[in-house]
Amino acid sequence: MSELFDAVDALLASRAPLPPPEERKRLRRAHGLTVEEVAAALKVRRATVSGWESGKTEPRPPERDAYARLLDGLAKLYPAPANTAAPSEDTAVPETCTSPAAPAPEARTSSAGQTSEAAAMTTAENTPSRPAPAAAPRPARTTRSTSASRRPGAKKAAPAGTPAGGTDPRFANGPLAVIDVDADGQVLAYCTGGLVLEVPAKSIPALVEWTLTEGKLGQPKLSGPGKDADPLLVLTEAALERYGLPVALTEEERLAGRLPEGHKVIKQLARAEWKLTKRGFGPWARIYRPAQGAERACVQLCIPSWHALDTRHWGHAGQLPPAELARVLGVYASRVMTPRGSTAVTGLELMTALHPPTRASEPDGSGKRHSEHNPGSLGKDPVDPAPCEAPDGHPVLKDLPRFHVRGPSEKLFEEAYDWARPMTDAECTLRHLVGIDVNMAFAAGANGLTVGLGAPTHITNPVFDPKLPGSWLVDLSHVDLSKVKVGKEWVELDGSLLPSPFTPKGERPTGPAWYATPTVAYAAELGYEVHPTEAWVRYDNGRYLDGWYNRLRDAYLATMADLGVHADMAPADFLAAMDGYKNRDPELAIVVSAIKATVKGGLGKLRERPRGEGWRPGEPWRALSRPTWRPDIRAAVISRTRINLHRKIVKHAAFTGQYPIAILSDCVVYASNGPSPLDFLPYRDGKPLPGGFKLGINPGLVKHEGTQTVLWGEEVRERFNAPELNLARYIKDGTVTDVDNGE
């Protein structure tokens, strides 16, 4: 019977109408396919497929059946626009198409009065005629401008998480575009929402000019006093070759992070009066002209083949076809912000975008406004850290002896956990080691945290104030974890099985040391008195990171929801949804990874160290000129994150008698008789222990990191002769690497 059905299907396919030639080409390009790829799949010559798309020839069986099947599948993914005929030049574009008709080409002159190269590219003799995409079998042809748009599909047909073009008419085509060259030699701009634009520019200066005048790319500002995001162009290897740029940097160029100043493209930019920032023409190049009043003229380039997209955070994004890469970066841009560089750079820029340093003042007597400090921001001028907050080599420490090593009483050292202990005999009788990981742990640590906004003030013998951000010199060696307060009750625990909450290695302090406010506040919460002898505090403070946290949290939750993992799921359903979630949509999984990296990288940038540049200890380095170089804020976030984790561990131990085997940053490992977190987390009637670990996708809740056997853990520690090897580092897949005496 199945053979009969197959025969009937073949008859239907052989008589099924094919879309018109221009629609065939649109569907192929919408999916990022080349003519060669289609020809190879159908086992025909490239010229044959080109003939089908130009209308010169029509396919015949058996290739026709397979070609019809391909086009039918693509049409389901990328339906034609609602308008069945292209508008004439004097007809407004209907609202169903989010890409407005391009303005009529006109000559543009530079400040020197010369016609720019981009303007010359838009003259009539250089403007190819392109047929508008048809949504019906009958073709509808019209002449379009060089920036004619081709939208392969309606918004509802786009894959989950695909951002549409911007609602701001200035940025109708979205925040960014991936620039590629098709098999016919046409330069195309793949935008968000499936939009494809034809690009007339024949050089990098012309491409920049086209982007700013006709591309309609960019993103509205995230805050009232802020600035709109500059358009981002991502250049594929084919685009690099078209515009005279190398596909890969030489070893010397890679180390320098840029092309040499004498490169022909840099000379072209200089002749067109475009400038480059200090970073030069590298993987993340910024091309601009000085702003004229409030008008910005700046375009950023991203070059994946020059390693602009770090594989640790962006996975295989750099190898994706143009349309898919535009989707990945577009989702990230719409939910976080248009990338400004690495995920770390973008994380830091997001802080500034949400809290611009200045704003316009109220009108003065003459009605003129002036720039003034924006309350709640870090301002536009950098501030020096307290000596205890400064990393080694900072200019505020230049008077220290050259080889002096600062101890805990001289240096603030707030870092994430890296702690482990030997298993007890009772734990060795259990079968499994189960790792749980805190979602977006450092983002959760930033939520609601009061941090300093201005310079620190030094005080001696202060009374500790848990609401005052700063660094405190205090002796916490008297805090005994064998007896602590949990809520309002004193609880006895086995302190030898718990890490100290005051040091990253979990060791008990031996004397006075510098701590951030959350760490000292936790000592008081555990029921012990604290008496600082010295402090650097910041009376100008606020919840600077709240907006940053909210945006990244929403981006993370929205993307995970697209992957089938929702907030407030039942514990068992959540664990099932997390199992293999990355395989449901690998592109969105890349976005999740990039969002996480934006959190950690952005916080890391607050204490950026010298990066070569001929730096010597005691001299300033480039990052110190930023108002966002704030090691005290980074320390406060890490402190609070570590304390949040320890608080959950203590409550879990007090209620269950279970203690962690190892902790690495935001991952905790417990011994358990079963392989699932539900085998040791104390859920009752589906409800978790109040204040303890709770399974869920929200930041601060936990997910399953991995499970190995207790025998695996003991064998690994014995093999490397490391009884305190941190098993949390390897719990995910059991692969053990980089072991050095248990570190």
**What confidence score (pLDDT) does residue 412 get?**
97
Q: What is the DSSP string of 514-583?
A: EEEHHHHHHHHHTT-----SEEEE-SSEE-TTHHHHHHHHHHHHHHHHHTT--TT--HHHHHHHHTTGGG
**What confidence score (pLDDT) does residue 162 get?**
73
The tens digit of pLDDT for each residue in 658-707 reads 999 999 999 999 999 999 999 999 998 889 999 999 999 999 999 999 99
Q: Are strands 232-235 and 295-302 parallel, antiparallel or unpaired?
A: parallel
* CA gap 252, 725 in Å, rounded: 40
Query: pLDDT-based confidence at 2, cuts 50/70/90?
Result: low
Residue 72 identity: D
* CA gap 295, 300 in Å, rounded: 16
The tens digit of pLDDT for each residue in 635-650 reads 999 999 999 999 999 9
Sheet with 512-516: list strands edge to edge: 457-460, 534-537, 470-475, 512-516
**What confidence score (pLDDT) does residue 646 get?**
98
**What confidence score (pLDDT) does residue 739 get?**
65
Query: pLDDT-based confidence at 89, cuts 50/70/90?
Result: very low
Residue 449 has pLDDT above 90, yes or no: yes
**Whole-model pTM over 0.85:** no
Write the CB contacts of 358 (distance below 8 Å, at least 6 apart in sequence): 225, 371, 372, 373, 374, 377, 380
| 454 close to 383: Cβ distance less than 8 angstroms | yes
Collapsed DSSP state (helix, strand, coil) of residue 186: coil
If one compares 162 and 512, the residue with the highest pLDDT of the two is 512
Residue 166 has pLDDT above 90, yes or no: no
**What confidence score (pLDDT) does residue 1 get?**
55
Q: How many CA atoms lie within 13 A of 289 on its CB side?
A: 17
| 247 close to 241: Cβ distance less than 8 angstroms | yes
| 434 close to 670: Cβ distance less than 8 angstroms | yes
Query: pLDDT-based confidence at 51, cuts 50/70/90?
Result: confident
Query: pLDDT-based confidence at 106, cuts 50/70/90?
Result: very low
Residue 736: burial class (beta carbons within 10 Å; 0-12, 13-18, 19+): middle
* CA gap 673, 571 in Å, rounded: 18
Mean pLDDT of 249-275: 94
Q: Which two tokens stand for residue 541?
A: 């403070």
Residue 442 has pLDDT above 90, yes or no: yes
Taking CA 328 as the corner, what is the angle to CA 325 and CA 334, rounded to the nearest 5 degrees? 130
Other C-beta atoms closer than 10 Å to the C-beta of 100 total 14
Q: Which two tokens stand for residue 648?
A: 């959950």
Of the segments 24-33, 396-405, 455-464, which one has the largest average pLDDT value? 455-464
Q: Which two tokens stand for residue 538?
A: 């910041």
Residue 90 has pLDDT above 70, yes or no: no
Mean pLDDT of 5-25: 70
47-51, 216-220, 551-555: least confidently modelled range = 47-51
* CA gap 654, 634 in Å, rounded: 30
If one compares 742 and 41, the residue with the highest pLDDT of the two is 41
* CA gap 134, 17 in Å, rounded: 14
The tens digit of pLDDT for each residue in 730-739 reads 999 999 876 6
Domain annotation for the chain: domains and CATH numbers: 2-77 (1.10.260), 139-340 (no CATH), 395-415+446-542 (no CATH)
Query: pLDDT-based confidence at 297, cuts 50/70/90?
Result: very high
Query: pLDDT-based confidence at 98, cuts 50/70/90?
Result: very low
**What confidence score (pLDDT) does residue 737 get?**
76
Nearest to 264 by CA among 280, 251, 245: 245
Residue 291 has pLDDT above 80, yes or no: no
Report the mean per-residue pLDDT for the chain: 87
Residue 129 has pLDDT above 70, yes or no: no
Other C-beta atoms closer than 10 Å to the C-beta of 531 total 11
- Omega cis (within 30) before 62: yes
Query: pLDDT-based confidence at 211, cuts 50/70/90?
Result: very high
Query: pLDDT-based confidence at 25, cuts 50/70/90?
Result: confident
**What confidence score (pLDDT) does residue 3 get?**
64
Mean pLDDT of 444-473: 97
Residue 276 has pLDDT above 90, yes or no: yes
The tens digit of pLDDT for each residue in 187-203 reads 999 999 999 999 999 99
